[in-house]
């Protein structure tokens, strides 16, 4: 089998990737899947021999699906959807780690009246829930996974489908377009008006604390994807972003009530 012939190669944010499958029908399925897991228009096909980062899905005597990143086995099993969900995450993570001239922050992002609010948080941190509520209130949807920052500290759209838990169980995600939820996508880069450091607490009250730029950058570091690979550029971008934004830390209760208070505070303090 010809490795370069039986593969798919794409470029996204300057990151060149190749995906090889032993079975052609699986490769076609992954190609269709990439059209859902990456925002429309945010990747292009390239020549396979130009790729730097390589994935492959193979079959072993024990497992029907074995996922490799380079020569390293990173997932395996007989349930195709489980293995491919892990591939989805790894593909986006690789783009986030190695993006050219951009810094990816694990965060939800919305636009409100010409400025962005970015909400750094880990997985299961409630980013998507809050972003969904805000978009239903009229905010522009930029991302429920990554804030994509340029050197000047502007945030760019990464409008993947929203991955919402709780439709089947508390762990599995179901993807929805923002339009199906009554929202609209943001299309243009925005200056960051607020960096919101928050976590859910059912007993929380609205008690916003404004942080210094330095403390804000420290809070963002653990959510900064390329910090290990490009620390100098990452810190420069974080500092430029923090210098032009208000940085707020508060715990939050239920998303709907919190969103109303958040937008009111944002309009009074950052607009």
Q: Do 151 and 107 fall into the same domain?
A: yes
Q: Do 45 and 172 fall into the same domain?
A: no
Q: Do 45 and 134 fall into the same domain?
A: no
| Residue 135: CATH number of its domain | 3.90.228.20
54-88 pLDDT, tens digit each: 999 999 999 999 999 999 999 999 999 999 999 99
CB 185, CB 178: distance < 8 Å? yes
Domain boundary among 71, 98, 125: 98
Predicted pLDDT of residue 172:
63
Picking from 146, 57, 142, the residue whose alpha carbon sits closest to that of residue 94 is 146
Q: Do 88 and 107 fall into the same domain?
A: no
Domain boundary among 98, 133, 165: 98
Residue 135 neighbours by CB under 8 Å, 6+ apart: 110, 141, 178, 181, 182, 183, 184
Q: What is the domain range of residue 75?
A: 7-98
Q: Do 117 and 31 fall into the same domain?
A: no
Q: Is residue 137 part of a domain?
A: yes
Q: Do 108 and 64 fall into the same domain?
A: no
Taking the CA atoms of residue 116, residue 170, residue 178 and residue 82 in that order, the dihedral angle to the nearest 10 degrees is 110
Q: Is residue 150 part of a domain?
A: yes
* 3-state per-residue secondary structure call for the chain: CCCCCCEEEEEECCEEEEEEECCHHHHHHHHHHHHHHCCCCCCEECCHHHCCEEEEEECCCCCCEEEEECCEEEEEECCHHHHHHHHHHHHHHHHHHHCCCCEEEEEEEEEECCEEEEEECCCCCCHHHHHHHHHHCCCEEEECCEEEECCCCEEECCCCCEEEECCCCCCCEEEECCHHHCCEECCCCEEEEEEEEEEECCCCCCCCEEECHHHHHHHHHCCEHHHCCCHHHHHHHHHHHHHCCEEEEEEECCHHHHHHHHHHHHHHHCC
CB 55, CB 95: distance < 8 Å? no
CB 210, CB 247: distance < 8 Å? yes
Q: Is residue 31 part of a domain?
A: yes
For tokens 């086995």, what's the residue? 73
Q: Is residue 1 part of a domain?
A: no
Torsion angles phi and psi, residue 257, rounded to 5: -65, -40
Torsion angles phi and psi, residue 66, rounded to 5: -130, 115
Is residue 170 scored above 80 in pLDDT?
A: no
Q: Is residue 214 part of a domain?
A: yes
Q: Do 73 and 168 fall into the same domain?
A: no
Q: Is residue 2 part of a domain?
A: no
Q: Do 78 and 124 fall into the same domain?
A: no
209-248 pLDDT, tens digit each: 999 999 999 999 999 999 999 999 999 999 999 999 999 9
For tokens 């100098």, what's the residue? 232
CB-based burial of residue 244 (10 Å sphere; 0-12 exposed, 13-18 middle, 19+ buried)? middle
Arithmetic mean of pLDDT over the chain: 92
Is residue 91 scored above 70 in pLDDT?
A: yes
Q: Do 119 and 218 fall into the same domain?
A: yes
Q: Is residue 191 part of a domain?
A: yes
d(CA 70, CA 179): 37
Is residue 125 scored above 80 in pLDDT?
A: no
Count of the separate structural domains present in the chain:
2
Predicted pLDDT of residue 122:
82
Q: Do 224 and 253 fall into the same domain?
A: yes
pLDDT band at 128 (very low <50, low <70, confident <90, very high): confident
Domain boundary among 98, 124, 147: 98
CB 189, CB 156: distance < 8 Å? yes
Q: Is residue 242 part of a domain?
A: yes
Q: Do 109 and 197 fall into the same domain?
A: yes
Angle at 224 between CA 219 and CA 229, to 5 degrees: 135
Q: Do 166 and 246 fall into the same domain?
A: yes
- Give how far the C-alpha of residue 199 lies from the chain's centroid of Cα atoms, to the nearest Å: 18
Both tokens assigned to 180: 């199906």
């Amino acid at each position: 089998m010809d490795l370069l012939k039986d593969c798919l190669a794409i470029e996204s944010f300057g990151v060149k990737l190749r995906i090889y499958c032993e079975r052609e029908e699986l490769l076609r399925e992954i190609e269709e899947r990439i059209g859902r897991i990456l925002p429309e228009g945010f990747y292009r096909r390239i020549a396979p021999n130009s790729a730097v980062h390589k994935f492959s899905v193979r079959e072993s005597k024990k497992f029907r699906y074995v996922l490799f990143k380079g020569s390293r086995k990173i997932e395996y099993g007989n349930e195709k959807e489980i293995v491919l969900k892990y591939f989805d995450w790894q593909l986006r993570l690789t783009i986030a780690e190695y993006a050219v001239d951009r810094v990816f922050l694990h965060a939800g992002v919305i636009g409100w009246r010409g400025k962005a609010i970015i909400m750094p948080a880990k997985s299961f941190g409630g980013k998507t829930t809050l972003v969904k509520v805000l978009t239903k209130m009229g905010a522009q949807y930029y991302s429920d996974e990554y804030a994509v920052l340029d050197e000047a500290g502007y945030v760019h759209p990464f409008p993947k489908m929203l991955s919402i838990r709780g439709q089947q169980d508390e762990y599995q995600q179901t993807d929805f377009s923002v339009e199906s939820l009554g929202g609209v996508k943001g299309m243009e880069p925005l200056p960051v008006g607020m960096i919101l450091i928050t976590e859910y607490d059912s007993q929380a009250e609205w008690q916003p604390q404004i942080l210094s730029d330095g403390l804000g950058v420290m809070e963002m570091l653990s959510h900064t994807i390329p910090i290990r690979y490009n620390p100098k550029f990452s810190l420069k971008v974080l500092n430029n972003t923090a210098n032009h934004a208000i940085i707020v830390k508060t715990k939050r209760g239920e998303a709907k009530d919190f969103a109303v208070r958040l937008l009111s505070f944002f309009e009074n303090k950052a607009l």
